Amino acid sequence: MPVKPWTAFPQIASSEITPESVWLNRRSLMKAAAAGAGLATAGETVAESKPTLELDYAPAEDGTAFKAAEMLTPYDAATSYNNFYEFGTDKADPARYADTMTTDPWEIKVGGLVNKPGKLHLEDILTGFDLEERIYRFRCVEAWSMVVPWIGFPLSALLERFEPKAEGKFVEFKTLYRRGEMRGTRSFTSVIDWPYREGLRMDEAMNPLTLMTVGLYGKTLPNQSGAPLRLITPWKYGFKNIKSIVEINVTDRQPRTSWQDLAPQEYGFYANVNPEVNHPRWSQGWERRLPSSLFNPNRIRTQMFNGYSEQVAGLYKGMDLARYY
């Protein structure tokens, strides 16, 4: 299948970005203050309890869509406020309970319509690809958003190793499903049909923005963020960004996805960020940029394709985005 050549990104002003030293400083100050007062939030203690490793990576290039020129969401916020229903539906549950998941050894089965089906292991994904940092906006379908410095490699680089066949039109992903280690999957009122499944069209999968992610903030992903390997598609709602992937299949038909199965009128296959198409239960015109607080909710307008129109709008030319949401 034809893959669009990569075109240069437009320049984005970097005047608004917070220098790393500033937020690092702020973070260590906050930590010192918390320690001094004998306080520590759950996120901090849990995030630290399972060691994350420093990664070797190339920094994102200034002025490209790979490096959003916006203030970063602090590490503690990004790793203590997560949706990972395998560990419970509360945003704090993943940071609290995801430590029970074994991520080493880890194996990812790649198959379907590929010439060379096979497996990837933890070592392959951490050392077998050139890692880059990407600072992306992250917009959850629930109307909150973050800006996170992810570390990973393009999904296209992974797929090319397994040589997708010409008739492969879609890519399907599955999350680990291990009841003994995932308390949320044992909840009898949960209606998700595990394992969690997601999918992309092949041209979406091959887009340079699409990142197979192994880390954030310079370190490997903590479990609550989807260790050891997750997807990041910054122009789509967060639930597309499937975590803790164990299986990738190239298919010739559109894969079924978990949220679409559960509530097709609320969550579509495309799930492109779109302020014009509201979720049935809330407006998508606005988002809370985290951290947010009661007296400073930090509400900002949501942008079409989460601000990545230039890079991805072409993928959907002529499509009725209100119908294919």
Could you tell me the two tokens for 98?
């995801």
Q: Which residues contact 55 (CB under 8 A, 6 or more apart)?
A: 126, 131, 151, 214, 215, 218, 219, 220
CB-nearer residue toward other proteins: 81 or 150 = 81
Least CB distance to other proteins at residue 134 (A): 21
Binding site for other proteins (CB under 8 A): 41, 43, 73-74, 77, 80-81, 85, 89, 91-92, 142, 144, 187, 189-192, 262-263, 278, 280-283, 286, 288, 290-295, 297, 299
Distance CA 31, CA 123 (A): 32
CB-nearer residue toward other proteins: 263 or 319 = 263
Distance CA 42, CA 246 (A): 28
Least CB distance to other proteins at residue 224 (A): 13
| Cis peptide upstream of residue 5 (ω within 30 degrees of 0) | no
Least CB distance to other proteins at residue 291 (A): 4
Least CB distance to other proteins at residue 104 (A): 28
The beta-strand segments (E) located in 41-141 are 107-112, 118-121, 132-139
CB-nearer residue toward other proteins: 110 or 240 = 240
Least CB distance to other proteins at residue 292 (A): 5
In this structure, are residues 166 and 176 in contact, taking their beta carbons and an 8 Å threshold?
no
Least CB distance to other proteins at residue 26 (A): 14
CB-nearer residue toward other proteins: 109 or 288 = 288
CB-nearer residue toward other proteins: 111 or 291 = 291
In this structure, are residues 209 and 234 in contact, taking their beta carbons and an 8 Å threshold?
yes
88-91: long-range contacts at Cβ-Cβ below 8 A with a sequence spacing of 24 or more?
A: 88/183, 88/184, 88/187, 89/184, 89/190
CB-nearer residue toward other proteins: 170 or 194 = 194
Give the number of other CB atoms < 10 A from CB of residue 123. Answer: 11
